[in-house]
Amino acid sequence: MKTISLALVAVMLLISCNKETKSIQKEIKQYTIEQFMDNESVGGGSFSPDNSKLLVSSNRSGIYNMYTIPSTGGTYTTITASDSSSIFAISYFPNDERMLYRADGNGDEIFHLYLRDTDGTITELTPDKGARAGFYGWSHDEKSFYYGSNKRNPRYMDLYVMDITSFETKLVYQNNEGLDVEAISNDKNTLALSKSINSNDSDLFLYDISTKKMTQINDTQCGTFAQDFSIDGKTFFYTTDKGAEFSYLMKYTIETKLKEKILEKSWDVSASFFTTHGKYSITYINEDAKNVIEVKNMATGKNIALPNFESSNITNVSFSRDETMMRLYVGGSDRPSNLFSYNLESKALQQLTDVLNNDIDVSHLVNAKVIRYPSFDGVKIPAIYYLPQQATVNNKVPALVYVHGGPGGQSRQGFSSLIQYMVNHGYAVLAVNNRGSSGYGKTFYQMDDLNHGEKDLQDCIEGKNWLAAQAEIDGEKIGIIGGSYGGYMTMAALTYAPEEFAVGVNLYGVTNWMRTLKSIPTWWESFKTALYKELGDPYSADSIRLKRISPLFHTDKVTKPLIVLQGAKDPRVLQVESDEIVAGIKANGVPVEYVLFEDEGHGFIKKENQIEAYSRILKFLDTYLKKEPVMND
């Protein structure tokens, strides 16, 4: 009798659990890709000279254009209305409301600089055909700005200064040795230059323009990176990982050459710089794949209190030129970042944007958590885990291992419309930071050197195994997805471990390392040697290994369905990489879909293309991974 009672109780509990599961599933609304892409992405935020408004870039029109927003809140004012190439705001001019911006040719990464005058007139400031230009900062006297250009030699970026009244240019530093300009002193006489050695290490130099004397800052091979000069130009700040796993902040006195460690954390100090007149220093710490930001008052030596956002994190800050106003971006893995203004004197905090589509209830989105799992050799692999709210032991869901770009990138605790779209539609996502990812110490960072497609692939497979062991996951329905290097990892998985993953999603991924390494953009010349040391030199005996790890030459091994997405203007991973991998796999009789965008580069920027790309991905997953009838949005 007691046994029967317990059995009845168990049955009732099961029924109750099933009812609860169904109830939860009904409460979590599924959103269309159009709704997810109706979220707005806002970037930048340069204060006007009187601090009354901010200049931003936004994709609210479908592609990025420039807008202004009142710094105390209010409606946008449209500044540009491009319907082809995206426009990215750089800054207001220091003392008037002229604007500087950049644009390329639909993703070809040949950026040029443009002036928008106060009357709306547009002037191209760097018109050299085929030459790439990049903004390097305003001069401290506010009479000019610095920019880099490879118009003299396509392989190297020279440093120029442009007068903001006459717009005459002057060559400041002719780059004949493949160095990169990292910082410029306020007195215009000293440059910080770097030379990449490998994926982690670089040499750092100070170059005196008047004497042409070059002084090397690091005395051993390590990861050494310029940060900023003091306002008076007497000291120089840089980060280094000399003798340590993580980068810390150093101070270098130029006259005496004295070095002093001034800030060390248990994670990388990833950036540190001063506000315009040196009242504050801003420091970023890469703490477990998210930014922790410290703003120090230099007069008191203490960090100031920043506004508290209970459900979100401050991801980025900058100051007005008079240092009385701050703009902040605030977001999280379950919500895109909004722009705020903060008056440091009155403590007034104002939200300026509301970028999440009003149709979407943020409680229906998933706040990711950081997990760690052991790989095949015991190395702990960090990852960011998104579990659909509708997933339960009785309602197991399919899953995807997501691999970031790079090599050397990092999956971060930030918002991704694609990931949230997939999760909202019932797919768990594990964004792995396999060995070779940045942010976890230099030993971990260099673990994949010259073994791509091998140990890093095993880390992804172990991520799949971790997923399969979770009670809410259907272990037979786990795929792999990634872009760029992550796209390569997708193809490596389907090629070299063809039975591990059920499907693959390759976004503009490398498939032929020899061709990719031989055809890298000319402006990457300064980084080419370091890239070859990490991946291999295609002009040497390394080519044997590079061919072995290139999926294109092993397409006969692919047995699982694949979707490939590519931009025709991509200068990093050429379209031919995707053309050929698709043709090779089609010859196997394996289901393969190909989505090509004629007006995109390395990554998809235009909303209409993102909608097409992401909807095609979900339909592919529903067909081949979830294996359920595809429902139209």
> What confidence tens digit (pLDDT) does each residue in 523-540 have?
888 888 888 988 999 999
Alpha-carbon dihedral sign for residues 496, 497, 503, 504: negative
What mean pLDDT do residues 198-209 have? Answer: 94
Q: Which pLDDT band, with edges at 50, 70 and 90, does 630 fall under?
A: low
Residue with tokens 């922790």: 292
Q: Maximum Cα–Cα distance for the chain, whole Å?
A: 98
237-to-185, 201, 234, 360, 538 alpha-carbon distances in Å: 11, 17, 10, 44, 37
pLDDT recorded at residue 9: 30
Is the pLDDT confidence value at 1 over 60?
Answer: no
Determine, yes or no, domain membership for 368.
no
Q: Which amino acid is at 42?
A: V
> What confidence tens digit (pLDDT) does each residue in 351-381 have?
999 999 999 999 999 999 999 999 999 999 9
Q: Which residues contact 118 (CB under 8 A, 6 or more apart)?
A: 96, 97, 98
> What confidence tens digit (pLDDT) does each residue in 554-581 have?
999 999 999 999 999 999 999 999 999 9
What mean pLDDT do residues 499-504 have? Answer: 98
Task: Give CA–CA dist 78/414, Å, rounded.
Answer: 27
> Which residues on neighbouring strands pair with residue 373, listed in sequence order?
381
Alpha-carbon dihedral sign for residues 392, 395, 396, 400: negative
Determine, yes or no, domain membership for 442.
yes
pLDDT recorded at residue 201: 93
Q: Which pLDDT band, with edges at 50, 70 and 90, does 198 fall under?
A: confident
Determine, yes or no, domain membership for 14.
no
**Coil, strand, or helix at residue 466?**
helix
Find, among 31, 24, 27, 7, the residue nearest to 395 by Cα. 24
Q: Which domain CATH number covers 455?
A: 3.40.50.1820
Contact indicator for 595, 613 with CB cutoff of 8 Å: yes
Contact indicator for 466, 437 with CB cutoff of 8 Å: no
Same-domain check for residues 388 and 335: no
> Which residues on neighbouring strands pair with residue 595, listed in sequence order?
565
Task: Give CA–CA dist 203/217, Å, rounded.
Answer: 8
What mean pLDDT do residues 345-349 have? Answer: 96
Determine, yes or no, domain membership for 139.
yes
Q: Which pLDDT band, with edges at 50, 70 and 90, does 165 fall under?
A: very high
- Asked, as a colleague might, if the bond just before 407 is cis with ω within 30 of 0, I would say yes
Structure tokens at 521: 């953009």
Task: Give CA–CA dist 139/141, Å, rounded.
Answer: 5
Same-domain check for residues 343 and 377: no
207 backbone dihedrals φ, ψ, rounded to 5°: -115, 120
Same-domain check for residues 320 and 389: no
Q: Which domain CATH number covers 70?
A: 2.120.10.60
Same-domain check for residues 296 and 398: no
Q: Which residues contact 2 (CB under 8 A, 6 or more apart)?
A: none
- Quote the crossing angle between the two packed helices 485-496 and 455-468, to the nearest 10°: 80
First to last CA, the chain: 52
Same-domain check for residues 344 and 379: no
Domain count, the chain: 2
Single pTM value for the model: 0.93
Same-domain check for residues 379 and 505: yes
Task: Give CA–CA dist 412/433, Å, rounded.
Answer: 9
Same-domain check for residues 344 and 388: no
Task: Give CA–CA dist 157/178, Å, rounded.
Answer: 8
- Mean pLDDT over the full length of the chain: 93
User: To which H or E segment does residue 191 belong?
Assistant: strand 190-196
Residue 217 DSSP symbol: -
pLDDT recorded at residue 3: 31
Query: What percent of the chain shows pLDDT beyond 70?
Result: 95
> What confidence tens digit (pLDDT) does each residue in 114-149 have?
999 999 999 999 999 999 999 999 999 999 999 999
Same-domain check for residues 335 and 383: no
Task: Give CA–CA dist 150/98, Å, rounded.
Answer: 26
> Which residues on neighbouring strands pair with residue 190, listed in sequence order?
208
Range of the domain at 65: 34-148+221-351
529-to-178, 226, 262, 526 alpha-carbon distances in Å: 10, 20, 32, 7
Determine, yes or no, domain membership for 187.
no
Same-domain check for residues 330 and 380: no
Determine, yes or no, domain membership for 55.
yes
Same-domain check for residues 404 and 273: no
Task: Give per-residue burial for 219-230: e unless 16+ CB within 10 Å, then b.
Answer: eeebbbbbbbbb
Is the pLDDT confidence value at 632 over 80?
Answer: no
- Virtual torsion, Cα 493, 497, 501, 503, nearest 10 deg: 60
> What confidence tens digit (pLDDT) does each residue in 594-623 have?
999 999 999 999 999 999 999 999 999 999
| Residue after which a domain boundary falls, among 320, 351, 382 | 351
Residue 483 DSSP symbol: E
Same-domain check for residues 500 and 551: yes
Determine, yes or no, domain membership for 143.
yes
Contact indicator for 622, 398 with CB cutoff of 8 Å: no
Q: Which residues contact 427 (CB under 8 A, 6 or more apart)?
A: 388, 397, 398, 399, 400, 621, 625, 626
Determine, yes or no, domain membership for 405.
yes
Same-domain check for residues 573 and 518: yes
Find, among 519, 525, 614, the residue nearest to 575 by Cα. 519
